[in-house]
Amino acid sequence: MKNTDLNLVPIFVAIYEEQNLSKAAVRLEISQPAVSKALARLRDIYDEPLFHRSPNGVEPTAFAMDIYPAMGAALKNFTSTLSASRDFDPTIANKTFSIACVSVASYELMPQLFKQIRQIAPHISLEIHPLFTEDHESDLRLQRYDLIVDMAPRGRTMLKFETIFSERLMVVCSEHHPRIKGSITVEQFLAEQHVVVSRWQSRQSLMDEDDIAELNKRDIVYRASGALEMLPVIHDSELIGMLPESTIKAFSDAYQIKGVPLPFSDKIHDLCAIWHPSRSNESAHIWLRNQLKLAGKTMS
């Protein structure tokens, strides 16, 4: 591909997303013959048909589906470099931010962020997603998400991250648990059966021995998809789990649960904003990170 062919990238993305040459032309504000000519050039470059005719326009081939994520990411990265050099005015901006977050952040932090943004940026919307994969680097590099909210990355990483707020973890159990009153020892903790938040696509808990050494000795009998999904199980049994103090307080009345201090020294854990370094100087992204930090302060 020659340098002059780089302008074919947005045309490919438009055809793929619109699945109609006429609609792609309208979106790009060029003529339909220009779109057809560009598509012919793309077919020559890749030696692939890329799209097949359909009753409503065109449908992508398997090859086109394979290259679309990279082409879409290339276009997003290029447009983000343009916006990075311009001032971001939240009062008039019409933009959607995509954030993937660990489940405990969905119940208070994200609603607080939205409430805060709504007051100063009426045309900005949020898309909040669960953490579907553990490949944060790929998700952020391809701009599937603008930000990820999770515990700090482990080990070496190229990703940037910043603590939003720190919170105390507690044991959570039924309000009427027969053996757990106002405190619990390590021996009692390990003698009970546990409910945990499961990591996506793995039989591992959200927190493990890398966080607190003794956790690998737990008898885990139920893995829930999120923090809220743990509560009905704990409410109606003698099982115990671990959750942030704010989550336990928020749902204590609804599920008749209580929090008891953890019997370990590692009780405070950080929740972080994680992003790709290519977005660090983008003005809109800086604004979003600042809003998230401000929302985090209300949780402290």
pLDDT value of residue 206: 60
pLDDT value of residue 147: 95
Q: Find the range with the poorest average confidence among 120-124, 170-174, 200-204.
A: 200-204
What is the full DSSP assignment across 49-118? Answer: --EEEETTEEEE-HHHHHHHHHHHHHHHHHHHHHHHTS---TTT--EEEEEEE-GGGTTTHHHHHHHHHH
- Cα 298 to its chain centre, rounded Å, is 21
266-285 average pLDDT score: 86
Distance in Å from the first CA to the final CA of the chain? 53
Q: Find the range with the poorest average confidence among 76-90, 162-176, 205-219.
A: 76-90
Confidence of residue 128 (pLDDT cuts 50, 70, 90): very high
Cβ atoms < 10 Å from Cβ of 154:
8
Interatomic CA distance for residues 51 and 35, integer angstroms:
13
> Considering the chain, what is the average pLDDT of its residues?
87
pLDDT at 84 over 70: no
Tell me, yes or no, if the pTM score tops 0.85.
no
pLDDT value of residue 88: 84
Interatomic CA distance for residues 258 and 251, integer angstroms:
9
- Residues with Cβ within 8 Å of residue 128, at least 6 apart in sequence: 99, 100, 101, 106, 110
